[in-house]
Structure 1
Amino acid sequence: MNINRLAAIVSSVAVITAVVAGFYVSGSPGVQRQLRIDERRVEDLGRISDAVSEYWGKYKQQPANLLVLVDGHRLKSLPRDPQTGADYRFESIDVLSYRLCARFSMASKQSDTQEFWAHDAGLQCYEFQLEPQK
């Protein structure tokens, strides 16, 4: 075996090892895609929550449904699940609290998200409290 062939084999093994290690550390492209979709779901819920709070501040009541928030100011369009196109769930609990729900593909990693937005795979609901009016 000559030196050039040995160098080519060693280089090939190094490249394959690097690719495998990269997938091990960061996950496959499919896993990365699911994580990005879940991040988008969290961002969407945050935008909806901000719009509900703004609506509460103006009208002193919760919106009857999420479509009310689409007025070009609070929301230009209603965020929908980026993978399925389904609506996110909005539930009024009582006068000062409500719940937003989404179905996540994967469990979040604590280092990837704020503690409040941590979630398991599957349906996850978050409860929000509105500020009482003075």
Structure 2
Amino acid sequence: MSHGNWGSRLLWAAGIVTALAVAAGVWIIDSPAQQRLQRLDDSRVQDLRNLDSAIRSYRQSHDQLPSDLAALAAQPGMALNLSDPQGGPDYRYRRLDESHFELCARFATASNVGLRRGTAFNAWNHPSGEHCYRRSLQDED
């Protein structure tokens, strides 16, 4: 076997390994477009968590849940995002009873339990599309 033939095979093998590594990397970490959608969903979850916290605070101050998000946002010192970060439908809130409420949003991707979220987000897992979280004042998160 000549050195030229061996070198050519080694070069081809290295090229194939490199191509497979790049393809595996893209498959594992998702495309940049997919990552952007996931970041937008992370922002939506954070907005909903902030709304959840503000609703609980309102309940402690007023002895009742707010009638709607506008009443919540009108409170002094409140700086809440009520709109989707990508211009989609506004977040929705619905009071179910004196101790339960729903927060709703439209998500671009499904959350991957334990994969891209920390444990603090586990209560905020969601499918892609429209999703409502039923929240209780007894919930810790």
Q: What is the TM-score when the length of structure 1 is the normalising length? A: 0.81
2:57 maps to 54
Could you list the runs of 5+ residues in structure 1 that have no partner in the other structure?
A: none
**What letter corresponds to residue 106 of structure 2 in structure 1?**
R
Take 2:87 and 2:7, find their aligned partners in 1: how far apart are those partners? Answer: 52
Q: Which moved more, 1:94-103 or 1:75-84?
A: 75-84
1:121 maps to 128
Rg bigger for which structure?
A: 2
Identity across aligned pairs (percent)?
32
Give the counterpart of 2:111 among 108, 113, 116: 108
1:80 CA displacement: 1.5
RMSD: 2.3
1:92 maps to 95
Give the counterpart of 1:67 among 63, 66, 70: 70
Take 2:47 and 2:80, find their aligned partners in 1: how far apart are those partners? Answer: 11
Matched, 1:32 2:30: no
**What letter corresponds to residue 69 of structure 1 in structure 2?**
L
**What letter corresponds to residue 124 of structure 2 in structure 1?**
W
1:23 CA displacement: 0.8
Paired residues, what number?
Answer: 130
Superposition misfits of 4+ residues, deviation over 3 angstroms: 1-18
1:43 maps to 46
Take 1:99 and 1:64, find their aligned partners in 2: how far apart are those partners? Answer: 12
2:84 maps to 81
Would you say the 8 A contact 2:88–2:106 is kept in 1?
Answer: no
1:130 CA displacement: 2.1
**What letter corresponds to residue 102 of structure 1 in structure 2?**
A
